[in-house]
Amino acid sequence: MSIAVDRDAAFVAGVRKIADEVAAAHADEVDRDARFPREAVDALRAAGALSSQVPEELGGGGVSVAGIASACFELGRRCSATAMVFAMHQIQVGTIVRHLDGASGFEGYLRALCDEQRLIASVTSEIGTGGDMGRSIAAVTPTDGPLLELEKRAPTVSYGAHCDDLFTTARRSPDAEPQDQVLVLSRADQTELEPAGTWDTIGMRGTCSPGFVVRAKFAPEQVLAAPFSTVMNESLVPLSHIFWSFVWLGIATDAFERGRSFVRAAARRNPGEPVPAAHGLSRVMSELTMLRAEVQSALAEFVQASDEPGRERLATMGSVLRFNNLKLAASEQAPRVCMGVLEVIGIVGYKNDSPFGVGRHLRDTLSARLMVANERIHSVDAGLLMIAKEV
């Protein structure tokens, strides 16, 4: 256990250094220009961080889910775009690692990922499904030769133009039902991305997430054997909600620290005098504390359930509700913290050129409600609450 803890601690310390020295230096420019945070991602590549979650026996860092979550938090404190790119990549890596099932093709891919520090993006959303990740229109289709192919119209593909590989959901075959899905891993040289939109947004601008028509040709062994319904409940959804929530917690934490610095500066200017803004900051701290507790408890529950034989608890309705509610709570609480800080600081926090500015933080956390829309999650939860035995 101590070896694993030491490994995680060393990894997180290295990511924190990259966050402080590289990601933070370019965060404002990345946001302003809506450009990919290439400097920070290159630094993470150079540190071997993109393969940190891969088991050591396959050449990776063997870092735990908890270690990855902490890294998402550290990056979120400095550059939310870098943090979200890192989190999305690690969601894909974690999904592959947890559902290898002895597949030599995917084991070989993970070794290549370690050697080449390949960046994976996901294509789960699709025009025509109403935002339901559990249904696909696109299908894995045979060709005249040994390869398979797919074509998918995606309204967003985060950092799709900057990734090395894509992990795409599709129906198992042209005659499969919309819910009978698989995950396909295609390399950049097997994939064509036809632009189908722009990315001029309020926040999370550096994730560079326009729409694309995705076309890929690939070998049969590049289709993950496990059904997507299993992968979604046991890995993809809980990992997404955990890693995203740690990113949002990081953003909110940095906003709070800016508010605290502002209040301290006011106290130094008038020693011995009451600082009215301190009362507001105290109220914001209670919000941040609740967010932190929710995120950390969900992580602990996921780790515990993952360690149980068969991971059966993760397939229950109660587990689906638990991690859906994590996303709902964190996505609503994080912007509330940032707004509270803005009210504490006032006009100085509203200015983009101020060291106390929290405009970027607020804008970036507003995206949280839209990443798998909260209304859709509430709709799913409402149905589950009617039939779930335990919640």
pLDDT tens, per residue, the chain with 391 residues? 577 779 999 999 999 999 999 999 999 999 999 999 999 999 999 999 999 999 999 999 999 999 999 999 999 999 999 999 999 999 999 999 999 886 778 999 999 999 999 999 999 999 999 889 999 999 999 999 999 999 999 999 999 999 999 999 999 999 999 999 999 999 999 999 999 999 999 999 999 999 999 999 999 999 999 989 999 999 999 999 999 999 999 999 999 999 999 999 999 988 887 788 899 999 999 999 999 999 999 999 999 999 998 898 998 999 999 999 999 999 999 999 999 999 999 999 999 999 999 999 999 999 999 998 999 999 999 999 999 888 7
Distance in angstroms (rounded) separating the CA atoms of residues 86 and 114: 15
- Shortest CA distance to 255 belongs to which of 18, 76, 40, 33? 76
Q: Which residues contact 320 (CB under 8 A, 6 or more apart)?
A: 233, 237, 380, 384
Distance in angstroms (rounded) separating the CA atoms of residues 281 and 340: 8
Residue that is written with structure tokens 């891969």 in the block: 54
What does the pLDDT read at residue 275? 83
Contact in structure between 32 and 202 (CB atoms under 8 Å)? no
Tell me the domains of the chain and their CATH numbers.
2-118 (1.10.540.10), 121-222 (2.40.110.10), 228-387 (1.20.140.10)
Longest dimension (CA), the chain: 81
Give how far Cα 364 sits from Cα of 23, 150, 215, 228, 273, Å: 15, 33, 30, 30, 35
Distance in angstroms (rounded) separating the CA atoms of residues 42 and 236: 25
Half-sphere exposure of 58 (CA within 13 A, CB side): 25
What does the pLDDT read at residue 118? 98
- Shortest CA distance to 52 belongs to which of 102, 99, 87? 87
Residue that is written with structure tokens 């025509």 in the block: 128
Distance in angstroms (rounded) separating the CA atoms of residues 321 and 318: 5
What does the pLDDT read at residue 286? 96
What does the pLDDT read at residue 1? 55
How far, in whole angstroms, is CA 373 from its chain's centroid? 14
Rounded to the nearest 5°, which phi and psi values hold at 214? -100, 125
End-to-end CA distance of the chain: 31
What does the pLDDT read at residue 161? 96
- Copy the structure tokens of residue 304: 């515990």
Tell me the pairing of strands 120-123 and 165-171.
parallel
Whether the full predicted model's pTM is greater than 0.75, yes or no, is yes
